[in-house]
Structure 1
Amino acid sequence: MIEIKQQIEETLKGILLQRGIQRERVQVEIPTDSQHGDLTSNIAMQLSKDLKSNPMEIASEIVSSFPKDDNIAKIEVVKPGFINFFFSDKYLFTVLDRINNDENYFNLDILKGKKYIIEYTDPNPFKVFHIGHLYTNMVGESLACLVEALGASVVRANYQGDVGLHVAKTIWGLMEMLKNESRSFESLNNLSLEERMRYLGDAYMLGFKMYDDLKDEKIISQIKDINHFVFCMFIPCIEKREYKFDTVLVKEIYFKGREWSLEYFEKIYRRTGTKFDKYYFESKMGERGLEIVMDNIDGKGENLFTRSKGAIVYEGDESKGLHTRVFVNNEGLPTYEAKELALPFRKYEDTEFDKSITITADEQSSYFKVVFDALSQLDKELAKKSEHISHGMVKLPGARKMSSRKGQIIEGEWLLNETAEKVEQLMHSSGKWQRDQLAGLSESIAVGAIKYAFIRVGIGRDVIFDFEDSITFDGDTGPYLLYVYARCNSILKGADFKYSHQGHIEVNAYTKELVRVISRYKEYLVTASLNYSPSSLCAYLFELGQTFNTFYQNVRVLDSKDRDFLLSVVNATAQIVKHGLNALGIGVVDRM
């Protein structure tokens, strides 16, 4: 459809140019109702004001000048001035033929030669990997797959906060727990990885309680000293202090705890199917961020930063909706902002990207606006290539907004496990599967169910994840589309066919409507990719699934005189469902 859409756009521009009207772009799009054609344009209504003429008359004049085209069966004008284009059977059969016989049909090169670096997930070592991280991971993977589908080269990046007060709170809490339990740190190696992570989580909660809730001044001072010591391990220029704790133990806890966290995160990435190409850490960005700030203060460089109450701040332009943020705190330590400011420079040195995208929760939007504003004054070109995409929150029905700080936390692994268990129960209850057949299958379906439930909602809106609604095989769900693919495979199993659209074939309304929907796939894929809108591709795939099921209920395929043709329709459906789900980061299963 992309090619014929561009052809119609160019033809319309040519018709207008013949009348002395020059338009850089003529909008042609897929109508919301297929009764209004396969493509539609409102160009006549756009011109009516300038031409001071009735849009219906303008539309009729344009249509009368439109050259005959074998790919277009009919062009109609409808009120208040739309021009609707209906594809011919010849065109639809050609699309079907290409999907079945052209191995390069899905190869798009719109973004060929472009390099993207997409940063997503970003969990913090020493803290729980919660469902918010799982959400960011799945949104990020879908966007990475979408731009790859248009030919882009994608570097998947993960930026992790391995320094900061959360680390110091965990280390302090862990030392307290070990002391109270008369336990050695080495003994934790005997625990499973999951048990060690829970131990770190409990340690963080203890540190948080003493620092943030009880505000114990003595303990606050101890935690700040640990934080200072950890920063000094990575930034030599920071002036060291006299520390009253066992620095050898703190260093051991830090590196082991970090190692455990990263190992645990990798376990989750294997389940979600994410393979990162680059890992960045705040510990490696601190020194660079501090240098950038100090090189642009006190009249030096761009003089972006100012001193305030012992700290160094960036004063945001309030007219742009920006606020003042601290880049170096009053202890001389670089904040998240300073480290984030260093990151684009490091990414570009590593990849020479054409586009850098960072995906986080919406609550970080104001923070990124300030950082990117500062970046734009240091390197305009780098700032132009960098973009922040924010998403909403993910919640379970009845659950409050979660916070690992206060212990209101829903672990990402818990959601994966719970969903897989519910999928397994649902499939086993059907009587078609034994438990021992379901382990890997239920995991794949569960991951697909969660991914689809997350990305079918527009990025920026909150997601309410309901188990029953998300794993059902009916409705707008991942399992529904996986079942459509499996059903297509079942029909095609053992059926040899070769389709060519030569000759006359009677096509009923159910079949033709399915082929029409099939023909639109690449247009929706391109739109979803360029607009960073996986939800729009989800909507298309759901429409395709519904149209296929209507076809399946009303058309006998295997015993039809047009068997090969109908099998080619089923095969095209299967290929598009698979390609579309893969472009969203969702793997398919052959049987369900």
Structure 2
Amino acid sequence: MLTLDVKEAINSAFKKAFSYQPESLELVNPEPQFGDFALACHPFAKNLKLSPQEIASRLAANLISKSIVKTEAVAGYLNITIEAGRLGQEVLSEVIDKDKHFGVAKSKKEKILLEYSSPNTNKPLHLGHIRNNVLGMALARLLEARGAEVVKTQIINDRGIHIMKSLVAYQKLGNNETPESTGEKGDHFVGRFYVLFNEETMIDDAKEALCKWEAGDKDIKALWQTMNCWVYDGFKETYKSLGSKFDKDYYENATYLLGKKIISAGLKKGVFYKEADNSIWVDLTDIGLDKKVLQRSDGTSVYITQDLGLAVSRQKEWKFSRAIYVVGHEQEYHFRVLFAILKRLGYKWAEKLHHLSYGLVFLPEGKMKSREGKVVDADDVIAEVKNLALAEVKKRFPELPNIEAHERSKAIGLGALKFFLLRVTPTQAIHFNPKEAIAFEGSTGPYVQYAHARIASILKEETPLPPKKIDFSKLASPEDKNILLKILSYPKVASQAANSYSPNLICDYLVSLSQAFNTFYHKHQVLRAPDEETKHARLLLIKAVQIVLRNGLGLLGIDAPERM
């Protein structure tokens, strides 16, 4: 690979000029006027006892490679320019050869458990769940592209007082209606009764229902199971729209007692302690956390007890090398405590647990709320972006058949939604704006999709010759080289995104590559190039761009349409 060849040449220059071998070399792509690659020599100044500029100058004088046509030392940087034909040949041949696998690097095999979504069964999925799901699935694809086996899971919160509120409201107000009889989606049907629940007049009934549920009351259990099934049917439809998939579902009703044995064992080991009222605690003040109750005085579990048990049981079941919890930032303290307790208990794998915290999604009125009915349901959001996309498609192509218009709007709308939620760092809060998301200009999904579709329309006119028949010296303009260097960096960006759990790096890259293509396309003719050799070189160049755009969008779970 070209980058490795350049690094080998630099290492040889270090050895020749200084009898020195650096531990690593970090090449960057500078502004076009400074060349194709640059090496900052500042990190080597201390060991070599020379100025960065002197180091760069000596390296430039000793750098020998058939691919390098120019070296220059500027402000402590070694700038390197590659022969245009070699750059194009190396980059484009690899992309065309690997195609869908370009950017995939099968590194060390490991098993990673990923938990995301984890909804409650008293209401539909909302906009926050969309961010969670989109982030979780993008992370799964990124890690799989690095060679990992990713086990995708969710813990469904199907018990507790909040679930009983929907149940009691249905008992009092439901009139034996069903989702089928009202024509509602199951999760929306149950969620309607959660909103109708009256705290003043129904709370005692909800508490009584919870006690009956825990005691195994047949009628309460039967209704609870029925209502949960209605919700699960609704969730399946939403998950299908988003492309969310799970290898295993865990249910709180089957896991909430898992941690009790762990608490008892920890008490015997002296990791935990018992208060006079028989409640069991852990003291984490020595690491900057608080004292935490793990079991109430009446012997009942708290939420973290379940998470302790679930973590231990899933490690036994899957034997994962690391686990990632995709959960909102309001649970950061909870996970710090959870991981600290597992470490205190002596589980070595607890060092490999990670909470991928993400920020809230805000509406014009502020933070989303669920009891007041102000929450934005996931299905409504999906429908809105599809409708906005449909209006845009019909405006651009009024004669398009209705079926095809809807197909395009689905790809564009969902792509816009996913890209909007992924384009910022996970920890950053998002102010959701559907019209901004669906825009065909700016840092948006449709902007990237449109670049892909534009290339597809050109390639339908003419197919490029295979790489072995291309005169790569024709790709020597600044715009050509800018695209080639961006393509060359894609595998590194994909690796960085996976290692840092940051799909936003892929979004940034795709926007940048789309911009580079648009700049190139506005300055250079492709089908009407000055000669056949140039035309086919440019056709192959944009074909490579198309492949990388498609692969990158695929990592985000976004379609790459050939028509917009």
Scaled by the length of structure 2, the TM-score of the pair is: 0.91
Whole-Å separation in 2 of the counterparts to 1:72 and 1:30? 15
Say if 1:130 and 1:325 are closer, same or farther in 2 by CA, change over 3 A. farther
Counterpart pick for 1:316 among 276, 281, 284: 284
Alpha-carbon distance, 1:480 to partner: 1.0
In the other structure, the counterpart of 1:471 is 438
Say if 1:170 and 1:330 are closer, same or farther in 2 by CA, change over 3 A. farther
Alpha-carbon distance, 1:451 to partner: 0.5
Counterpart pick for 1:531 among 468, 475, 500: 500
In the other structure, the counterpart of 1:264 is 234
Instruction: Check if 1:408 corresponds to 2:405.
Output: no
Q: Please give the secondary structure, in 2, of the residue aligned with 1:287.
A: coil
In the other structure, the counterpart of 1:191 is 182
Alpha-carbon distance, 1:341 to partner: 1.2
Alpha-carbon distance, 1:284 to partner: 1.9
Whole-Å separation in 1 of the counterparts to 2:73 and 2:406? 56
Letter in 1 for 2:486: V
Task: Answer yes or no: is the 8 Å Cα contact 1:340–1:371 preserved in 2.
Answer: yes
Say if 1:95 and 1:119 are closer, same or farther in 2 by CA, change over 3 A. same
Task: Answer yes or no: is the 8 Å Cα contact 1:193–1:260 preserved in 2.
Answer: no
Letter in 2 for 1:114: E
Task: Answer yes or no: is the 8 Å Cα contact 1:121–1:133 preserved in 2.
Answer: yes
Alpha-carbon distance, 1:30 to partner: 3.9
Whole-Å separation in 2 of the counterparts to 1:405 and 1:290? 32
In the other structure, the counterpart of 1:510 is 479
**Which moves more between the two structures, 415-424 or 346-355?**
346-355
Say if 1:530 and 1:39 are closer, same or farther in 2 by CA, change over 3 A. farther
Please list, as runs of the form range in 1=range in 2, the aligned pairs for 1:159-174 lying within 5 A after superposition. Answer: 159-174=155-170
* Structure 2 unaligned blocks of 5 or more: none
Q: Please give the secondary structure, in 2, of the residue aligned with 1:529.
A: helix
Scaled by the length of structure 1, the TM-score of the pair is: 0.87
C-alpha offsets along residues 45-80 of structure 1, whole Å, 9 cap, x if unaligned? 1233455532211222233333x123333332221x
Q: Please give the secondary structure, in 2, of the residue aligned with 1:384.
A: helix
* Structure 1 unaligned blocks of 5 or more: 234-246
Counterpart pick for 2:61 among 61, 64, 70: 64
Counterpart pick for 1:304 among 259, 263, 272: 272
**Which moves more between the two structures, 17-26 or 554-563?**
17-26
Alpha-carbon distance, 1:228 to partner: 3.5
Q: Please give the secondary structure, in 1, of the residue aligned with 2:474.
A: coil
Letter in 2 for 1:251: K
Task: Answer yes or no: is the 8 Å Cα contact 2:88–2:472 preserved in 1.
Answer: no
Whole-Å separation in 2 of the counterparts to 1:404 and 1:462? 18
C-alpha offsets along residues 341-387 of structure 1, whole Å, 9 cap, x if unaligned? 12222222332222211101111111111011111122432212221
In the other structure, the counterpart of 1:84 is 79
Please list, as runs of the form range in 1=range in 2, the aligned pairs for 1:134-153 lying within 5 A after superposition. Answer: 134-153=130-149
Please list, as runs of the form range in 1=range in 2, the aligned pairs for 1:9-28 lying within 5 A after superposition. Answer: 9=7, 12=10, 19=18, 23-28=22-27
Q: Please give the secondary structure, in 1, of the residue aligned with 2:452.
A: helix
Q: Please give the secondary structure, in 2, of the residue aligned with 1:84.
A: strand
Letter in 2 for 1:25: S
Whole-Å separation in 1 of the counterparts to 2:15 and 2:350? 38
**Which moves more between the two structures, 538-547 or 282-291?**
282-291
In the other structure, the counterpart of 2:306 is 339
Alpha-carbon distance, 1:269 to partner: 0.8
Counterpart pick for 1:491 among 444, 458, 478: 458
In the other structure, the counterpart of 1:48 is 45
Letter in 2 for 1:84: N
Alpha-carbon distance, 1:144 to partner: 0.8
Say if 1:330 and 1:423 are closer, same or farther in 2 by CA, change over 3 A. farther
Please list, as runs of the form range in 1=range in 2, the aligned pairs for 1:387-406 lying within 5 A after superposition. Answer: 387-396=354-363, 398-406=364-372
Say if 1:346 and 1:519 are closer, same or farther in 2 by CA, change over 3 A. same
C-alpha offsets along residues 314-340 of structure 1, whole Å, 9 cap, x if unaligned? 3333x5332333333455332221111
Same amino acid, percent of matched pairs: 27
